[in-house]
Structure 1
């Protein structure tokens, strides 16, 4: 059963132990099975964490905070999670955030004026974009700065 779980995708030791617990296995059996799987390198929480960070960042655009939360939910030790998160640089996170912002701004017409209606629309877009980045685990300060820059560029280009 544990090998079947590992066939679909990599799992952390914690995830597998939860599966075995749900099936009613004793703690001694769970420990022995998982120790053996680690011994033959079928379970490796450090490798799992590195792979998780890389793929979730690339496919979902998640930032450090969201990735840290997800690793914790999967039972990855804090030290292993931090080690895996080190592979993401600030430049990587910023590039991903810019890409996400760019996707959201495609086809959005922003008013270029300084009147109340134009400011209101830019503020609304700023809130939406910063919130989207925050939900994906990007730092609020960096998110606000990147959104402001993107909106300035978008307005200056006069892109619809």
Structure 2
């Protein structure tokens, strides 16, 4: 049952423990199974956290704060979470937030500027970005779009 869960995607020790508990596997047996899976390298919370952080930051544009919350919900130890999200630099966060802001600004073309600003900042907040990063990203996105609008033919 634990191997079946690992077949779909990597899981944390806590996720697998929850699965085993849900199937009424005795705690002692579940502990031995999970220990063996760790010995074999099939369960590794550190590796999971690093890969999860990289993948979710790149694909979803999530902030360090949002990534840390997801990992905590998956039962990853706080120190492992801190180490994993530390790999995302301030520049990485601003770049990801800027890409999101550019996409939102493009999608909101024709919307009144104040309303569009609120929408973009709200979208960035939902991704876990603080106000400083969000405003920086919004300014950079407007610069990027301003440069695109001018283009070489202007």
**Shared fold by TM > 0.5?**
yes
- For residues 8-19 of structure 1, what are the structure 2 equivalents within 5 Å? 8-19=8-19
- Tell me the secondary structure at the aligned position of residue 114 of structure 2: helix
Cα gap change, 1:90/1:154 in structure 2, threshold over 3 Å: closer, same or farther? same
Looking at structure 2, the residues matched to 62 and 129 of structure 1 have their Cα atoms a distance apart, in angstroms, of 14
1:3 matched to 2:3 = yes
Looking at structure 2, the residues matched to 142 and 85 of structure 1 have their Cα atoms a distance apart, in angstroms, of 16
User: Where does the alignment leave 5 or more consecutive residues of structure 2 unmatched?
Assistant: none
- Give the equivalent residue in structure 1 for 2:103: 103
- Give the equivalent residue in structure 1 for 2:127: 136
Cα gap change, 1:59/1:149 in structure 2, threshold over 3 Å: closer, same or farther? closer
- Total equivalences in the alignment: 150
CA RMSD, aligned part only?
A: 2.0
- Give the equivalent residue in structure 1 for 2:51: 51
Cα gap change, 1:29/1:59 in structure 2, threshold over 3 Å: closer, same or farther? same
- Give the equivalent residue in structure 2 for 1:36: 36
- Taking structure 1 as the reference length, what is the TM-score of the superposition? 0.85
1:3 to partner: Cα distance: 0.7
User: Where does the alignment leave 5 or more consecutive residues of structure 1 unmatched?
Assistant: 112-120
Contact 2:95-2:137 within 8 A present in 1 as well: no
- Bigger Cα displacement from structure 2, 41-50 vs 99-108: 99-108
Q: 1:148 aligns with which of 122, 139, 148?
A: 139
1:108 to partner: Cα distance: 3.9
- Taking structure 2 as the reference length, what is the TM-score of the superposition? 0.88
Runs of 4+ in 1 over 3 A off after TM superposition: 107-111, 151-159
Contact 2:53-2:67 within 8 A present in 1 as well: yes
Alpha-carbon displacement from aligned partner over 1:30-71 (angstroms, at most 9, x marks no partner): 111101111111100000000000000111110111101100
